[in-house]
A and B are shown apart, each in its own frame.
Chain A
Amino acid sequence: MPKKTHSATEEGHAEQLDQAEQKMPAEPEGGERTRSRRTFRPRVDIYETERGLMLLADVPGATPEGLTITLDRRALNVHAKVEDHAPEGYNPIYQEYQIGDFECDFTLSGDFDADKIEASLTSGVLRLMVPRAEQVEARTIKITAGS
């Protein structure tokens, strides 16, 4: 049997509408999770500010507890766990979106201070502030005369 992964879960029982603003599937090269859930790539805005880069990601249903942001050298990974918000005891009769986790990866260039990233999560939007690195002052290197 082929191995079942997060992207091969069964389709929802209810019908789906095509014209709705659909969620995007996660990058195929992204890490495979052991959770039997769908994973989506959030819609992201990235823009410049005076201080550096601002990154906004739509992660509806994510809570601060379920959010994992890891920085490995220059690779920034965001994973947001989303709990199922379908009400208990109800039958789905119509479905336009699916509930699943969010994951995305970014690679930061060297001009940014990766240690000073600030993150906040409000009403389903993750905000990441990536400050620009301060200009490194030119240093003169003294030469000690060899004896």
Chain B
Amino acid sequence: MITNMLYGSPFRDMRLLQEELNRLAQSAAAPRAGFPAINVYAHQDGIVITAELPGVQQDNLEITVHRDTVTLRGERQDQPEDAGAYHRRERGRGSFVRTFGLPFQVDPDKVDAQLRDGVLTLALHRPEHDKPKRIRVSGA
């Protein structure tokens, strides 16, 4: 196929090379400051934050909500007792703290946190008085 000749292999090679470069760049300078990485999803009435926290136990995770800031504090296991010589060590370890601001205030009493399979799902709701209100336009 002519399309294959034009697009298939050279673009694929370039892509593979690019991926390899990305991989090298990432492994060389993997920053540890931003753990855990978070995703934020918004809805009219609230917000959902998800974070990947592999190896973090429920008891080792502390979540604080104050006005419009959320703090995640916790610890990942440092070193297993039975560990001898390491052949490879890539997993993050030690304690972490991460604070982030939200676009609006949240109701600290209506926070729903779930930690399952190493993924944290944090559902936060907007307080009633802070929700956007629809204003009716009255006719003249």
Contacts and interface: CB of A to CB of B under 8 A. Distances in A.
Instruction: Say if A and B assemble together.
Output: yes
Nearest to A106: B88
B87 A47 contact: yes
A2 B54 contact: no
Contacts of B11: 2
Contact of B19 (A7, A47, A86, A96): A7
A3 B84 CA distance: 45
Contacts of A22: 26, 30, 37
A93 interface: yes
Decide if the interface of chain B is mainly helix, strand, loop or mixed. Answer: mixed
Given A2-B8, A19-B31, A43-B91, A54 B83 contact: yes
Interface string B68-104: 0000000000001011111111111000000000010
B105 interface: no
B133 interface: no
Contact of B37 (A20, A24, A53, A61): A20
Contact of A125 (B84, B88, B118): B118
B34 A17 contact: yes
A58 B87 contact: no
Contacts of A60: 52-54, 117-119
A124 B85 CA distance: 24
Given A91-B42, A124-B53, 14 more contacts: A20-B34, A21-B32, A43-B90, A45-B88, A46-B88, A47-B89, A54-B83, A60-B54, A87-B41, A94-B39, A97-B37, A97-B39, A123-B54, A125-B118
10 contacts: A14-B40, A22-B30, A22-B37, A28-B16, A47-B83, A56-B55, A56-B91, A85-B119, A92-B39, A95-B39
